[in-house]
């Protein structure tokens, strides 16, 4: 059972964090879409920074300025930063990871940190990839409100801010935009003199990952939404050595930022990030998970309900993670638990239970029903393999019609929602249903097997979709070849569990829930699938 948090069970601030100082995303969303429609596809918009600085200054009255006036201050800032993002060249935007955090996500993460001990008035906070100041401006807003209540003068507030809040941003124009949003907030919301804020800078230009960690702690906590991007092969070797303790396959920028953050905060300091959920169970993050639990306590893993319309122009399974740095690294990591829930699209937070933080790099499990007597696919006598053929790279091997020596190609579309295998449906999907292959090729499957869609989404009724490919079909054609978006389960021994029984279990809602608890990405890992305990 899940229950909506209330003041009697959890801090009241978590019950509806979007109502803290900003409206729910549903209210602001249509207005922001209308604003962005005014700029999409523009090729002659001039300097994006100058345009956005003009929007911040509230210069001439335009349709856009009128739309901006309908938004609360946090959503107005988000809208202006989003205008800058869509005017950036696409490749540059992707390289910088310029997909800014909407206010209701910021509110939730700040509320989580406060419930765990963050002192807004006194603690020093850093955002290492500050972007459009999605975190720093709301934090400054909260700090100033607290200081004003304590009777602190404006001059003292301006002196304190740079000591309490710091940001770093690799893109110089974005850093300027962030500082301009900060100054606008000080002047328009708090009535602080514009002359006294002219030179106030909280966000510096620079690469946080290029900075040396000195061991001197000038912040208490770190918060942010780092870029999500796999390193290009050309940069991989250098970074693999630098982040050797977490490297396990291709490195992603967000795990590098998270790892570095733990070194930058003092023992007892917290790191609160919005990150992809892929690290929860992905095999390539095994070393990362193992090292993190040695260095820090995992306090929170909260999922974001929606995967689309959260980050502008991006579809992403994402979550909140909050860590607390240990005084000394744990010598022998043990199973631990972390608070866990779901931030709904409305901004309401639903507490679900405790996530299981497994040691030794094993997948972390979100809350859910536990299996009693259970078994893995390996226990049942099956092993998984990814379909061999990559269609867009081996198109010359695909054919429209059957011919001597051609084998049926199993597309993911042939795996139906009702658990049936429909070869013709897969054939109609692409029109190419046959593949030539050497007779002795090891990737030809010649016995009854189970096909699973390798790519899924949270929008599906079930994350797992499986179908039995009958022995009669395979015998008729002498074998089958699967496409790369299909996982095949093949028997490893003669007394394997009946294949249709396994299919029925895989297609149960319970099995998909078990996958959801460890799989935070659209692509299903074979190794992760083999670790799930089914009942």
476: left (phi over 0), alpha (psi -120 to 50) or beta: alpha
- Provide φ and ψ at 168, rounded to 5°: -130, 140
Backbone phi and psi for residue 408, each to the nearest 5 degrees, phi listed first: -65, 135
Q: Which residue has the higher pLDDT, 178 or 235?
A: 178
The answer to whether 143 and 118 have CB atoms below 8 angstroms apart is no
Rounded Cα distance, 370 and 372, in Å:
6
In contact, 264 and 211? CB cutoff 8 Å: no
pLDDT tens for 379-405 read: 899 999 999 989 888 888 888 888 777
How many residues would you count in the chain?
535
Q: What's the farthest any 2 CA atoms get from each other in the chain?
A: 87
Q: Are 399 and 434 in contact (CB under 8 A)?
A: yes
Percentage above 90 pLDDT, the chain: 46
The whole-number average pLDDT for the span 83-91 is 79
The pTM (predicted TM-score) of the whole model is 0.76
**SS3 at position 535:** coil
> b/e for 182-217, b at 16 or more Cβ within 10 A?
bbbbbeeeeebeeeebeebbbbeeeebbeeeeeeee
Please choose, from the candidates 92, 181, 94, the residue with its C-alpha nearest in 3D space to the C-alpha of residue 130. Answer: 181
What is the predicted pLDDT for the residue at 456? Answer: 72
Residue 338: the pLDDT is 95
Q: Where are the alpha helices (DSSP H) in 165-285?
A: 172-190, 194-197, 233-242, 253-264
Average pLDDT over residues 71-76: 91
Instruction: Return the closest-CA partner of residue 140 out of 71, 54, 77, 218.
Output: 77
* DSSP assigned state of 230: B
Q: What is the mean pLDDT of the chain?
A: 84
Instruction: Look up tokens 């990871």; give the residue.
Output: 97
pLDDT the model gives residue 519: 73
Q: What pLDDT digit, counting tens, does each position of 245-303 carry?
A: 998 877 889 999 999 999 999 999 999 999 988 888 888 889 999 999 999 999 999 98
Contacts of 461 (CB under 8 A, 6+ apart): 417
The position carrying tokens 């390289």 is 95
Tell me if 123 sits within 8 A of 221, measured CB to CB: yes
Residues 6+ positions from 163 with CB-CB distance below 8 Å = 124
How far from chain centre, in Å, is Cα 420?
32
* Predicted pLDDT of residue 5: 28
Q: What is the distance between the alpha carbons of residues 99 and 326, in angstroms, rounded to a whole number?
A: 31
Higher pLDDT, 237 or 426: 426
DSSP H stretches of helix in 350-441: 423-430
Q: Which of 66-70, 291-295, 302-306, 307-311 has the highest mean pLDDT?
A: 291-295
Q: What is the rounded average pLDDT of the residues 451-473?
A: 84
- Which residue ranges form the domains of the chain, and what is each CATH number? 3-357 (3.40.50.150), 382-531 (3.90.220.10)
CA dist., res. 457 & res. 475, Å (int)? 33
Q: Residue 22 pLDDT more than 50?
A: no
Following DSSP, what letter does each residue of 459-514 receive, concatenated? TSS-S--EEEE-HHHHHHHT-BEEBTTEEEEEESSTTPPPHHHHHHHHTSHHHHHH
CA angle 294, 300, 303 (to 5 degrees): 125
Asked which of 85-99, 190-204, 252-266 is least confident by mean pLDDT, the reply is 85-99
Instruction: Give the single-character DSSP code of 154.
Output: H
> What is the C-alpha end-to-end distance of the chain, expressed in Å?
20
> What pLDDT, on a 0 to 100 scale, did the predictor assign at position 373?
54
C-alpha neighbours within 13 Å on the C-beta side of residue 378: 9
């Amino acid at each position: 059972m899940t229950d909506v948090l209330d003041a009697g069970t959890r801090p009241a601030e978590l019950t509806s964090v979007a109502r803290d100082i900003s409206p729910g995303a549903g209210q602001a969303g249509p207005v922001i879409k209308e604003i962005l429609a005014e700029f999409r596809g523009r090729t002659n918009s001039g300097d994006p920074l100058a345009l956005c600085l003009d929007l911040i200054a509230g210069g001439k009255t335009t349709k856009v300025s009128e739309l901006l006036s309908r938004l609360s201050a946090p959503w107005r800032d988000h809208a202006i930063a989003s205008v800058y993002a869509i005017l950036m060249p696409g490749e540059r935007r992707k390289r910088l990871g310029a997909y800014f955090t909407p206010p209701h996500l910021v509110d939730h993460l700040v509320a989580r940190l406060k419930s765990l001990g963050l002192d807004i008035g006194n603690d020093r906070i850093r955002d290492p990839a500050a972007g459009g100041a999605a975190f720093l401006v709301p934090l400054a807003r909260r700090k100033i409100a607290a200081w004003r209540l304590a009777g602190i003068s404006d001059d003292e507030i301006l002196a304190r801010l740079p000591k309490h809040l710091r940001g770093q941003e690799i893109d110089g124009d974005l850093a300027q935009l962030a500082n301009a949003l900060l100054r606008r907030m000080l002047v328009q919301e708090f009535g602080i003199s514009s002359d006294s804020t002219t030179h106030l800078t909280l966000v510096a230009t620079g690469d946080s990952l290029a900075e040396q960690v000195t061991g001197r702690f000038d912040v208490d906590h770190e918060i942010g939404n780092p870029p999500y991007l796999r390193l290009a092969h050309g940069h991989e070797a250098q970074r693999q050595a630098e982040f050797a303790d977490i490297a396990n396959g291709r490195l992603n920028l967000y795990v590098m930022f998270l790892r570095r953050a733990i070194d930058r905060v003092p023992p007892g300091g917290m790191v609160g990030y919005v990150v992809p959920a892929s690290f929860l169970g992905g095999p390539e993050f095994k070393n990362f998970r193992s090292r993190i639990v040695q260095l820090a306590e995992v306090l929170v893993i909260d999922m974001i309900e929606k995967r689309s319309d959260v980050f502008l122009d991006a579809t992403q399974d994402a979550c909140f993670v909050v860590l607390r740095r240990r005084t000394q690294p744990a010598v022998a990591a043990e199973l631990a638990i972390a608070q866990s829930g779901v931030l709904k699209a409305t901004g309401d937070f639903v507490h679900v239970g405790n996530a299981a933080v497994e040691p030794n790099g094993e997948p972390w499990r979100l809350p859910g029903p536990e299996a009693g007597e259970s078994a893995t696919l390996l226990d049942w006598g099956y092993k998984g393999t990814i379909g061999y053929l990559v269609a867009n790279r081996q198109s010359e091997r695909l054919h429209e019609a059957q011919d001597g020596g051609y084998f049926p190609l199993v597309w993911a579309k042939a795996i139906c929602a009702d658990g049936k295998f429909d070869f013709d449906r897969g054939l109609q999907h692409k029109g190419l249903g046959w593949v030539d292959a050497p007779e002795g090729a090891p990737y030809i499957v010649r016995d009854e097997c189970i096909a699973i869609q390798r790519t899924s989404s949270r929008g599906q009724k079930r994350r797992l979709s499986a179908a039995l490919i009958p022995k009669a079909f395979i015998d008729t054609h002498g074998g089958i070849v699967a496409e790369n978006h299909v996982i095949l389960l093949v028997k490893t021994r003669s007394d394997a569990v009946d294949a249709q029984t396994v299919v029925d279990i895989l297609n149960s809602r319970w099995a998909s829930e078990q996958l959801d608890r460890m799989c935070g990405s659209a692509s299903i890992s074979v190794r992760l699938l083999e670790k799930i305990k089914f009942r």
